[in-house]
Amino acid sequence: MLKSTPARLILEDGTQFDGFSFGADRSVSGEVVFSTAMTGYPESLTDPSYSGQILVLTYPLIGNYGVPDTSVLDEATGLPKFFESDRIHIKGLVISDYSFQHSHWNAIKSLSDWLKENEVPGIFGVDTREITKIIRERGVMLGKLVQETDYASADAMPFHNPNAENLVAAVSCKDTITYTNPEAKRRIVLVDCGCKYNIIRCLYTRNATVVRVPWDYDFSTLDYDGVMLSNGPGDPALCGVTIENIKRAMTQKPNRPIFGICLGNQLLSWAAGATTYKLKYGHRSHNQPALEVGTDRAVITSQNHGYAVDPTGLGEGWEPYFVNLNDNTIEGIRHRTLPFFSVQFHPEATSGPVDTEYLFDRFIELIDQYKNK
């Protein structure tokens, strides 16, 4: 049983929620966002896209199935089997009801113990649906998760805006990593802007060797059959080096396919002449509907991003690929004649719907067309 000491979530507008602490005993500040997933907290907490954010989980009961063994690896890639990166990336966790007893065949520890190991605080016993409602009505908000011992100094604790920092540089790999597939028919460069491991798995299982490079690496100098631009956190405008590398690759190797996901969509859009803007609310859920432009095909997608593409500046030959059916924002772009496309949502979603994993197959088809001339 946890020793439940008081804790408090303070939103930027002054709204406060009192609950109880679990996880690490420390106070933090960050951007408050939410997820509507019913399961998948080990995957969400290790998603680099949540870097700098205090995550609110709307599903009431959390922690009931514990946390898997972080040392269990995929036989093929050598990556942690049950997680999306090598560590927790959120600043803090906010939930309604914490399960003090966990039970699952592959659980080896509790959620609270895992948070402590990663020095991440949590708060439970608060109305997460009310928090989500406030965020949805008033827009993006910063927040502070404060322990009882820090109540007296809470007002002096600043609200920290993680989007003012280059979060991509903080979460990207530092050196080139190659995942060699002995049956590989393709060689794909993955530009790591904070990539989820399942992107690597989705490429590897499609008979590809994946060469993972840092966010600022000039990949145009490499020999490859295709390029994957990964997801990641923060403001895409701070990734000017990556944008210039994408432009160079599109010019020097125009027949080699490029596929962008989430932040990768925003970076490809910048390279194509468009810009991005901060959304009032952001898209934060596992059930965002998107329409494939030119068809009647609607898909349910997993999303977590605070920026959107303004398509007005897209260069000649570019067009929207998907649109969000809730607010009509652009959910992807594509080139009409060259093999470049990207989507704002997560086709590799883990956890989340896999309605759009077929986009990896489209990417592979474009690569094979290039290889077969």
Q: Would you tell me how many other CB atoms lie within 10 Å of the CB of residue 3?
A: 8
Residue 105 host element (H or E):
none
DSSP 237: G
Closest to 318 in 3D by CA, of 299, 339, 290, 294:
339
For the record, the structure tokens of 345 come out as 């949502």
For the record, the structure tokens of 153 come out as 């100094």
Closest to 357 in 3D by CA, of 368, 366, 346, 367:
346
In sign, the C-alpha dihedral spanning 150, 47, 52, 169 is positive
- Do the Cβ atoms of 256 and 227 come closer than 8 Å? yes
Closest to 360 in 3D by CA, of 221, 254, 259, 250:
259
For the record, the structure tokens of 356 come out as 């759009």
One-letter amino acid at 233 equals P
Residue 67 host element (H or E):
strand 67-68
- Do the Cβ atoms of 93 and 131 come closer than 8 Å? no
One-letter amino acid at 280 equals K
Tell me how far apart the alpha carbons of residues 46 and 218 are, in angstroms, rounded to a whole number. Answer: 27
Closest to 226 in 3D by CA, of 264, 272, 282:
264
Catalytic residues: 262, 346, 348
